[in-house]
A and B are shown apart, each in its own frame.
Chain A
Amino acid sequence: MDSISFIDFTATTALALFIVGFVGGMVSGFIGSGGAFVMTPAMMTLGVPGIVAVASNICHKFPKSLVGAMKRHKYGQVDVKLGIIMGIFAEAGMLVGKNVMTGIKNTYGDVGTSLYVSVVFVVVLAIVGSFVLRDAWRMHKAEKSGAAEAGHKVTRLARWVQSLHIPGTMMYFDSIKARVSIVIVAPLGFATGMLAATIAVGGFIGVPAMMYILGAPALMASATELVIAFVMGLGGSILYALDGVVDIRLAMIILAGSLFGIQIGAIGTTYVKDAVVKFVMGLIMVIVLFSRFFYVPGYLSNLELIDPIAPSTIATLKMLGDITLVLALATGGLTIVVALIKGMAAHRRKVSVT
Chain B
Amino acid sequence: MSERKKTAIATAAFGVGSLTLYLLLFSYSDQLVLWAEQTRQGNKLLFLIPIVIAFVFSWVHGNFTGHFWELLGVRAAGKQK
Contact = CB atoms under 8 A, between A and B. Distances in A.
Interface of A: 1-2, 4, 6, 9, 59-60, 62-64, 66-67, 71, 74-77, 219, 234, 237-238, 241-249, 251-253, 255-256, 259-260, 262-264, 266-267, 270-271, 340, 343-344, 347
A263 B54 contact: no
A124 B36 CA distance: 31
Interface in B25-66: 25-26, 29, 32-33, 36-41, 44, 46-51, 53-55, 57-59, 61-62, 64-66
A249 B25 contact: yes
B36 A244 contact: yes
Contacts of B44: 242
B36 A245 contact: yes
A67 B65 CA distance: 10
Given A6-B36, A63-B59, 17 more contacts: A63-B55, A63-B58, A63-B62, A74-B79, A238-B51, A247-B36, A248-B49, A249-B33, A251-B50, A252-B57, A255-B54, A255-B57, A259-B61, A264-B74, A267-B69, A270-B76, A270-B77
Contact of A267 (B54, B59, B75, B79): B75
Contact count band on B: 35 or more
Contact of A259 (B32, B39, B53, B62): B62
22 contacts: A2-B41, A4-B40, A63-B54, A63-B59, A66-B62, A75-B76, A76-B80, A77-B80, A234-B51, A237-B51, A242-B44, A242-B47, A243-B39, A244-B37, A252-B53, A255-B54, A256-B18, A259-B64, A263-B65, A264-B69, A267-B74, A270-B76
Across the A-B interface, give the 7 residue pairs with the lowest CB-CB distance, nearest first: A63-B58, A244-B39, A244-B40, A241-B47, A67-B62, A248-B50, A270-B77
A63 to B, nearest CB: 3
A63 B77 contact: no
Contacts of A340: 74
B77 A343 contact: yes
Contacts of B57: 63, 252, 255-256
Given A63-B58, A64-B58, A263-B69, A271 B77 contact: yes
A248 B48 CA distance: 11
A340 B77 CA distance: 10
Given A9-B29, A252-B25, A270-B76, A238 B58 contact: no
